[in-house]
Amino acid sequence: MLPMEKVLRDPIHNYIFIQHQIILDLINTREFQRLRRIRQLGTASSTFHGAEHSRFTHSVGVYEITRQICDLFQRNYPSKAKDDGLWDDHERLVALCAALLHDIGHGPYSHTFEHIFHTDHEAITAEILTSSTTEVNQVLRRVSADFPQEVASVIQKTYPNPQVVQMISSQIDADRMDYLLRDSYYTGTNYGTFDLTRILRVMRPYKEGITFHISGMHAVEDYIVSRFQMYQQVYFHPVSRSMEVILSHLLKRAQVLYENNELDTAITPHLLLPFFENNFCLSDYLKLDDGVLTTYFIHWCESPDKILNDLANRFLNRKPLKSARFNSQTARLLPKLRILVNEAGYNPEYYTATNDSYDLPYDAYDPTSQKRRTQIELMQDDGTLVELSTISNLVAAITGKVSGDERFFFPKEMLAESSQGEIFAPIYKKFQNYIKNGRITALK
């Protein structure tokens, strides 16, 4: 324990209380400080200009919510006997460390980078925790030789105590609760707000994990709806997805040029070469952040390769692609649209894309599902448990309902109102015949 607790000022939680020396030392490691240089929402700042917050701010927020849960459990539900299903406060430190470090393996622009270079932030998180080369590992080993692997197992969902795992990873956990509130605040939206204090008050441990007293059902409902709305209005925003497409194609083009020995050697992206060659180590990964990639993008704006040059300019100067929704009936038109884009002078490999964004706002437990989710259990006054969607009409209405859409992305220029004298005007007009009110429609 610290001789005197330290605090971090935070716009979401007011104060974040640091009460253990190990937590303070983990925050001060170079691996954790790197998270200051990675945006929490990636390209979403192109849509919501306030969304400049970092993985660092989110991670300390998840730690703080977990600390509050531990305090409430120890105060109200302390274990009296072995295997009584109540809270054993010896689990506090592993829970706090896992909460703090759960996102430490994220790379620059997170999921887009993962998709292009086939990295896995969860596997890299475990490696950061367990590799003797990291400062994080050295701090964790001060607790015990096995402690780094214990913390990693919480994040990997293999830790034997389900209460600790569900604090960090479940359908209503410290991670989701912080990012909904934090992302809502920084994007200037109100969709992600819910009554965190009430949810924590009705949260309680039991042998199989974490449950919520039935008196707090409406607060839990509010959380589920808030999450649903954030995905629809913020996380799935078409402009943010468009900027992800440009970023993805920009990195892909740079890799293709490098593989063909066509990348301008005057601006060789040395820190990306191990990823272009698919031969990177942890040290290579930890050198990357959003700023490193942005620096290379600035150089690529002057590349002699027209596609790399143009994509870098579009990304840095916020020139998103346009998009139109399509469905199973209109998907057959996509090859035609790509041909028209090509005829207009844009390589469809780099200037078109399909992108789907789907999410289940709440999913009841399905033992046959490949991706099993921990369902939300409510505890009744007699101690029996009931699954949320069986008694909440509101949650039942969206349970198992996939929300989202599929979009076809293309250059904004394809929607230009050109005079008939221009060379591409007939192509634009033919293309526009298929796009009506943001949807792809078949010609009658």
* Top-confidence residue, 328 or 280: 280
More confident residue, 110 or 196: 196
Average pLDDT over residues 334-339: 96
> What local confidence, expressed as pLDDT, does residue 419 receive?
52
pLDDT above 70: residue 424: yes
* pLDDT score of 30: 98
Q: Which of 62, 22, 24 is nearest to 40 (CA)?
A: 62
Question: Sorting pLDDT into bands at 50, 70 and 90, what band is 366?
Answer: very low
Q: Which pLDDT belongs to residue 405?
A: 84
Longest dimension (CA), the chain: 85
pLDDT(369) > 80: no
Q: For the chain, how big is the Rg over CA atoms in Å?
A: 24
More confident residue, 380 or 395: 380
Please determine, for residue 110, whether its predicted confidence score (pLDDT) is greater than 80: no
Which of 15, 16, 19 has the alpha carbon at shortest distance from 5?
A: 19
CA neighbor of 352 nearest in space, from 323, 316, 310, 376: 323
Across the range 434-442, mean pLDDT stands at 90
Quote the DSSP letter at residue 414: G
- Name the DSSP class of 274: H
The least confident of 88-92, 154-158, 422-426 is: 422-426
Cβ pair 267, 299 in contact under 8 A: yes
Angle at 309 between CA 432 and CA 288, to 5 degrees: 115
pLDDT for residue 404: 74
Q: Over 90: is that where the pLDDT of 370 sits? A: no
What's the token pair of residue 109? 């622009």
User: What whole-number distance in Å separates Cα of residue 126 and Cα of residue 141?
Assistant: 14
* pLDDT of 354 higher than 50: yes
Mean model confidence pLDDT for the chain? 92
Least confident of 79-88, 260-269, 270-279: 260-269
Q: Which CATH superfamily is domain 6-236 in?
A: Hypothetical protein af1432 (1.10.3210.10)
- The two three-digit tokens of residue 249, written as one number: 């194609």
Question: Mean of the pLDDT values across residues 14-33?
Answer: 98
The pLDDT assigned to 151 comes to 98
Kindly state the average pLDDT of the residues 155-159: 97
Please, which residues have CB within 8 angstroms of residue 219's CB and are 6 or more apart in sequence?
Answer: 194, 195, 198, 199, 202
Strand pairing partners for 209? 206
pTM for this one?
0.94
* Token pair recorded at residue 63: 């730690």
pLDDT for 360: 59
- List the domain boundaries for the chain: 6-236, 237-320
Predicted pLDDT of residue 422: 72
- CA torsion 22-24-28-29 (nearest 10°) is 20
CA distance 142 to 181: 33
> 209-212 long-range CB contacts below 8 Å, 24 or more apart?
209/162, 209/163, 209/165, 209/166, 209/170, 209/374, 209/377, 210/162, 210/163, 210/166, 210/167, 210/170, 211/377, 211/378, 211/379, 211/385, 212/172, 212/376, 212/377, 212/378, 212/379
Give the pairing type, strands 209-213 and 377-379. parallel
The C-alpha atoms of residue 205 and residue 161 are separated, in whole angstroms, by 11
Average pLDDT, integer, range 249-277: 94
Average pLDDT over residues 349-373: 67
Question: Architecture of 237-320 per CATH?
Answer: Up-down Bundle (1.20)
Q: How far is 242 from 43, CA to CA, in rounded Å? A: 9
Residue 416 has pLDDT above 90, yes or no: no
Percent of the chain residues past pLDDT 70, beyond the cut:
94
DSSP per-residue letters across 348-366: HHHH-EEEEEEE-SB----
Share of the chain above pLDDT 90, in %: 80
Q: Which pLDDT belongs to residue 397?
A: 84
Higher pLDDT, 317 or 191: 317
Q: What is the pLDDT of residue 2?
A: 81
8 A C-beta contact, residue 407 and residue 241 = yes
φ and ψ at residue 216, rounded to 5 degrees: -100, 15
Distances in Å between the alpha carbon of 13 and those of 182, 336, 395?
Answer: 9, 52, 27
Q: Torsions phi, psi of 343, nearest 5?
A: -65, -25
Q: Which of 64, 76, 78, 72 minimizes the C-alpha distance to 9? A: 64
- Give the pLDDT confidence score for residue 59 in this predicted structure: 98
Confidence at residue 401, expressed as pLDDT on a 0 to 100 scale: 67
* C-alpha distances out from residue 368 to 166, 358, 364, 372, 373, Å: 21, 20, 12, 8, 11
Give 207-248 pLDDT, tens digit per residue. 999 999 999 999 999 999 999 889 888 998 999 999 999 999
172 close to 214: Cβ distance less than 8 angstroms: no
- Checking if the pLDDT of 371 tops 70, the result is no
pLDDT score, position 365: 44
**Cα separation of 311 and 316, whole Å?**
9
The whole-number pLDDT of residue 421 equals 53
What average pLDDT does range 393-412 have in this prediction? 84
241 or 373: which leads in pLDDT: 241
